[in-house]
Each structure stands twice: as structure tokens, then as C-alpha cells.
Amino acid sequence: MNHQLLHGDTAPLFQMTDQNNECITLEKYRGRKILLAFFRNSACALCNLRVHQFIQRYPEWQQQGMEVIALFESPEANLHRYVGQQNAPFSLIADPAAEIYKLYGVETSEAKTKATLSQPGIHQKISDQVEAAGFKLTPEEGSNFNRIPAEFLIDEEGIVTVSYYGSLITDHLPFETIERFAAGK
């Protein structure tokens, strides 16, 4: 298990290239709030649904001074093939070696994956949710099936305000929390 970040920790710095071949660093966003989201892989239907929901909310978040950076434990080619098809107006980053995942203590857990998949009716619920939004349950070859999502809200000075480590593969930071942070409340 990697070290998990807590409220008040300085967000670890990184430098990666996004889907538009732009160099992305946290320093680039100083003075703006950041939602930093770690997803399972670029073909994950639940992950694509969450990105779709981010895209819908992004114009308001951007107006409020918040940027979004989404990471996927996938090769760049898969990033373009799957989640990249949504043309997100924010940075999508391929991190196939999970370097940034390690920096942020994002975990891999077979037990949490099994706990998610053993919930009554979960397969149908997931299928219904993602298909209603136009996504398909697509396995990504070679992906880390047991990666658990995590999301961080980082303030204008680069300090972690909220660190949210999912307890299941379906567990994400509530939108109400993100909206309050974006609005400065």
C-alpha cells in the first residue's frame, strides 16, 4: 500500500503529457483549484460515464476557477481509442506505469473489486447506467482490473483540501462536495 494523502498535504508534483500533447504540471495551475481524478482504465464504462458527467459540469467549474485533470492507467493509444472519443475539454493523461498513481497512494485491491462485484444486482445496475449514457462494458486488455478510483480537490496553493479514496470500484467523491469546493464554499 502506498502512502495516502490527507487534508492539508502538499499535492505531489508531476509532469505528464495529455491527450492534446500538452505538457501538464500542477505548477501550471497555481492560482486555480483542481479536481484531480484517478480512474481505472480508459475503456472502463463507469470511468467513461464519470468523465461524461465531468464534461457536462466543466463549463461551470471552469467559470468558478476550477480545472480538471483525469488520469487513466492505460497506454496513450487506448486513451485516444476509448475515453478520448468524448473530446473532453480538460486534460486526460495516460499513466500506464501508474507513476502518478503511486505518488498519490491510489490503491489496487482485489478485495474491494470482489466486494463491488458481489453486491446484489450490481452488474445490471452498472450495465443500465452506462448503456443509458451510451457506453459499453469493454475490457481493456492488460489493464489493472483491481484499480480503485481516487479523487483529490487541490486548492490554489497546491494543498490537498479533500482526498477521497474509493471503497469500491463504483465509489467516487460526491458531486455536492466537488460543487461546494468549485464555488469556494
Q: In three state form, how does the secondary structure of the chain look?
A: CCCCCCCCCECCCCEEEECCCCEEECHHHCCCEEEEEEECCCCCHHHHHHHHHHHHHHHHHHHCCEEEEEEECCCHHHHHHCHHHHCCCCEEEECCCCHHHHHCCCCECHHHHHHHHCCCCHHHHHHHHHHHCCCCCCCCCCCCCCECCEEEEECCCCEEEEEEECCCCCCCCCHHHHHHHHHCC
- What is the value of pTM for the model shown? 0.92
Boundaries of every domain in the chain: 32-183
Q: What pLDDT tens digit does each residue of the chain (185 aa) get?
A: 458 888 999 999 999 999 999 999 999 999 999 999 999 999 988 899 999 999 999 999 999 999 999 999 999 999 999 998 999 999 999 999 999 999 999 999 999 988 887 877 777 777 777 777 777 767 777 778 889 999 999 999 999 999 999 998 888 999 999 999 999 98
32-183 belongs to which CATH class? alpha beta
